[in-house]
Structure 1
């Protein structure tokens, strides 16, 4: 619209009735929401922005698509935007993203969020895991000082699978045998005394020293004191990794010995288990996404939809 026409339109706003102003606000809301989404995407864009196809940082502007600046690579001539190469590429209805992320911060179910936002439940499910695909990688790089580590177990679930690898269980059911076995997913949580938390799905059954080397060792500071229960795998891991280690003997009734305890990580387990229960079962293949989601919500670490969107995009356009 030309400037003169826009000024003429603004002069007519005062003459609108209350109902007309309300309709005007409703008509502008999707465009305003789209602008906020594009601003959040631009703020999360790394500098320099690189082509996701060849990794070259030399490009020029090549039009605007749905409010987002598009570029053409000078090396391979492919076009891309700040969303290309991210989990959010090719998702539609961008104007509704922030409203949906607000419902995710409220831990809404797939169907409840779909009803509130006005999208199909399948779209709601697809959005949830596209957004969480980037959020799950947003974990602390290092744990320092005193770190507690312990595992919790959930009965494995093939929810949503078309072909089951075992006989179906009614309403979740129970494992065929008592104790921890190969029908339980092991979730390892490490948390230092400052509140930084790393969580991993290590596999089925009890955790092993090899799994601890793979998941836990990269996030531990060399001078850390690792506090665990008396599981043999932790003692073997600490000895092989040459990490200071202390443990409490839970079987003997020992809970606290000075600063040696695992109560912080066990409290996190309790919050995680209670939060997961609202979803009436989580498929095992999506567990890492939910662990990242829970860490984003812990202590209101991420309180705004724009922050969650930035975490979902991540730094995918880095120089190769």
Structure 2
């Protein structure tokens, strides 16, 4: 549209009725959403080399659904800022930011699908594409006083076509009492500033070897590790020379000055309450949900644009 015609059209907008303005906004919303999404993508990932041959001479080569495409002068391959990311080849980019608003609000697959007018399978696939790299957005290390404790969830093979046990109904229980191989162990470590790491260590209780594998790399050497009286933690601290204090929860000891695990246990509680809205999730997707909870807990991610940058691997938020 020519500039003069556009100005004339804008001047007549004051004559629109309320219903007509609502219709106009609804018509413009997809285009505005696409522009916002493409601007965020270009800001987060601006290719400087070819992902195939690492060539540095690049030419602009048109656009693909609103995103700049490039052509490598060395090998002739074309690519965009989304090439090689979990979001490559996803459709409906105009709806991505609206979808991420639903992610930040913790909406279910079906509710988000109905709101955006996409199929529930599309909503589910988008969820795990957007969370694939988001779960890697973590602090550098835990410092000061760090608490560690395990969270146990009944293993779920929801969606699996092959089971080595009898199937359970939703909200089922283990075949025997106590912590056993039917439970998935989630090790959560959190310092007093809120920096958090979580690891899926496997089935059953955590072991000293697993603590060496997962916990040791994320602890500052001067950290004070506070745990319960599980013997694996005592052995871990002894062999690594890490300062360690334990509270005896079985004896009713909860707090001993600054020594407690209330911080990490409160995080466990919030995660369980938040996870309940999804009516059971498959254990193989637990890392994505843990990363999701880390993003929304305490409103660490404030906008859909910030969530999109993290989904593209741009971790530029200091913890």
Q: Closer, same or farther in 2 for the Cα pair 1:174/1:22, shift >3 Å?
A: closer
How far did 1:315 drift? 4.2
Q: Who is 1:31 aligned against?
A: 31
The aligned runs of 1:3-42 (5 Å cut-off) are 3-14=3-14, 16-42=16-42
Deviating above 6 A after TM superposition, structure 1's stretches of 4 or more consecutive aligned residues are none
Taking the aligned partners of 1:135 and 1:292, their CA distance within structure 2 comes to: 6
1:235 to 2:234 alignment: yes
- SS of corresponding position for 1:216: helix
Cα deviation digits, residues 12-46 of structure 1 (max 9, x gap) = 54555554443332221110110011111122125
Q: Closer, same or farther in 2 for the Cα pair 1:169/1:30, shift >3 Å?
A: same
Q: Who is 2:215 aligned against?
A: 216
Tell me: higher relative CO, structure 1 or 2? Use CA pairs within 8 A at least 6 residues apart: 1
Taking the aligned partners of 1:13 and 1:263, their CA distance within structure 2 comes to: 58
1:136 to 2:135 alignment: yes
Cα deviation digits, residues 194-249 of structure 1 (max 9, x gap) = 11111111111111111111211111111111111111111222222221111112
- SS of corresponding position for 1:157: coil
Cα deviation digits, residues 38-74 of structure 1 (max 9, x gap) = 111122125x633333344432211111111111123
Taking the aligned partners of 1:189 and 1:275, their CA distance within structure 2 comes to: 16
- SS of corresponding position for 1:131: helix
Q: Who is 1:256 aligned against?
A: 255
Alignment size in residue pairs: 315
TM-score (norm 1): 0.93
Q: Who is 2:268 aligned against?
A: 269
The aligned runs of 1:63-82 (5 Å cut-off) are 63-82=62-81
Q: Who is 2:178 aligned against?
A: 179
CA RMSD of aligned residues (A): 1.8
Name structure 2 gaps, 5 residues minimum.
Answer: none
Taking the aligned partners of 1:23 and 1:248, their CA distance within structure 2 comes to: 61
Q: Who is 1:298 aligned against?
A: 297
Cα deviation digits, residues 178-201 of structure 1 (max 9, x gap) = 111111000010000111111111
Q: Which moved more, 1:53-62 or 1:217-226?
A: 53-62
